[in-house]
Amino acid sequence: MQKAWLYEEYGPYEVLKVGDFPLPTLQYNQLLVHVRAAALNPIDFKRRQRPIFPSDFPVIPGCDMAGVVVSKGSGVTKFGVGDEVYGNIQDFNAGQLKQLGTLAQYIAVEESLVALKPTNLSFEEAASLPLAVQTAIEGFVTAGFKEGQTVFIVGGAGGVGTLAVQLAKHYFGASRVVATTSTPKVEFVKSLGADVVIDYTKTKYEDIQEKYDLLYDTIGDTKNSFVVAKDDAPIIDITWPPSHPRAVYSSLTVCGDNLEKLNPYLNSGQIEAVIDPTGPYNFMDTIEAFRYLETGRARGKVVISPFPSLNLSSHAPCDCESNNKIATEMIPQKMLIH
């Protein structure tokens, strides 16, 4: 058995508790990973608050992690025991979520969903990236964004926004990056590479004269922000439902290969992980981390680390088929997963 944060009923963060959960039995294409750090995402508390889709209890929340491979299935060819990996273990395109999420000491994940951790990143930094960076990339791809175009990013200081600003400038080659944030975060968003940062508490969208080739909304404010987009410009909204008829909802593709493509930018420092300065939160302070995340005030990602260790030398992964079932119902495409 291992320690994990879990809940056995839907509700606020108070339903979370630390409990025992079986170590998973690996499938042929899976890795057993000792989790060293995990990041929280809104899907983690939205899934807990209400039955967006049926789940088998208890549920261990968590999508993002970084850790060390301690065992692998017979079909794994890309990774070996001792490798440091990171990724989003929940493949939303598969139509189901794992019951055993990343807020546990050990998790099972398909090798196709993870990548080798960049050597210059800590476990905490690596864990903060997967879901947010995959979401950010998908928005630009969905829009068909081209090098040299301009982009207006609504919400430049959040988990996705901080990465969208950096990706726009360094990965997609935007000629001009403009982002919004609140007064205390203006200089921070500038430091990420935004050419202009607009304080939304002082400037209204309709007062902005410049029009942009892409409006990228990370917070769901397209009903107001659409006025800054050119007449024929795509509008991407990563929340559901989009609040303007021109907006296109952007989900994500979960794939370790996409993370590997970012390695040159991560290793060079062109793209940096952004961890909220209140963290990392200790594993035993996970409820406090959720409480903070749910205020909507996080700057970057809320990260959990360190995790307690478990000596596996005398513990073989057990057959936990009955306790580690996954939800079998299809996930609504409209579900917010960022």
Q: Which amino acid is at 106?
A: Y
Residue at 262 is within a domain: no
Q: What is the mean pLDDT of residues 226-232?
A: 97
Separation between Cα atoms, residue 249 and residue 336, nearest integer Å: 10
Query: Residue 161 to residues 132, 155, 219, 261: CA-CA distances in angstroms?
Result: 9, 6, 9, 19
What whole-number distance in Å separates Cα of residue 319 and Cα of residue 325? 11
Contact status, residue 329 vs residue 53, Cβ threshold 8 Å:
yes
Residue 338's pLDDT is: 38
Give the model confidence (pLDDT) of 22-60 as tens digits. 999 999 999 999 999 999 999 999 999 998 766 789 999
Structural domain for 231, as ranges: 132-249
Answer yes or no: is pLDDT of 67 > 90: yes
Q: Which two tokens stand for residue 38?
A: 């995990």
Query: Is 325 inside any structural domain?
Result: no
Span 64-90, average pLDDT: 97
pLDDT of 112-146, one tens digit each? 999 999 999 999 999 999 999 999 999 999 999 99
CATH number for position 225? 3.40.50.720
Q: Residue 109: inside a domain, yes or no?
A: yes
- What confidence category does residue 92 fall into, taking pLDDT thresholds of 50, 70 and 90? confident
Query: What is residue 18's predicted lDDT score, i.e. its pLDDT?
Result: 97
Between residues 325 and 161, which one has the greater pLDDT? 161
Name the β-bridge partners of 84: 68
Q: What is the mean pLDDT of residues 250-278?
A: 93
At residue 264, the 3 state secondary structure works out as: helix
331 has pLDDT over 50: no
| Burial status of residue 183 (CB atoms within 10 A of its CB: 0-12, 13-18, 19 or more) | exposed
Residue 113 · residue 30 · CB < 8 Å: no
Compute the mean pLDDT over every residue in the chain, rounded to the nearest whole number: 90
What value does the mean pLDDT take over residues 79-103?
92
Mean pLDDT of the region 148-168: 97
pLDDT of residue 54: 61
Does a structural domain hold residue 139?
A: yes
**Does a structural domain hold residue 105?**
yes
Q: Among candidates 13, 238, 219, which has minimal Cα distance to 103? A: 13
- Report the CATH number that the domain containing residue 95 is assigned in CATH: 3.90.180.10
Give the integer Cα–Cα distance in Å for 316 and 332.
Answer: 36
Domain contains 23: yes
Q: Are residues 111 and 9 in the same domain?
A: yes
Mean pLDDT, residues 156-172: 97
H-helix segments, the chain: 42-49, 123-127, 130-143, 159-170, 186-191, 222-225, 256-261, 263-268, 286-293
| Count: domains in the chain | 2
Amino acid at the residue 129: L
Which pLDDT score is estimated for 186? Answer: 97
Tokens 């969905």 belong to which residue? 142
Minimal CA–CA distance to 120: which of 286, 336, 19, 266?
Answer: 266
Same domain, 111 and 6: yes
- Output DSSP code: residue 215: E
Reduce the DSSP state of residue 333 to 3 states and report it. Answer: coil
Q: Which residues have a Cβ under 8 Å from the Cβ of 267 and sit 6 or more positions away? A: 118, 119, 120
Does position 326 have pLDDT exceeding 70, yes or no?
Answer: no
Percentage of the chain beyond pLDDT 90 is: 83
Is it the case that residue 324 has pLDDT exceeding 70? Answer: no
- Are the CB atoms for 168 and 137 separated by under 8 Å? no
Is the domain of 26 the same as that of 104? yes
**Per-residue pLDDT band at 312 (split at 50, 70, 90):** low
| Token pair 């899976």: residue | 30
For residues 140 and 106, membership in a common domain is answered with no
Place of tokens 């307690």: 308
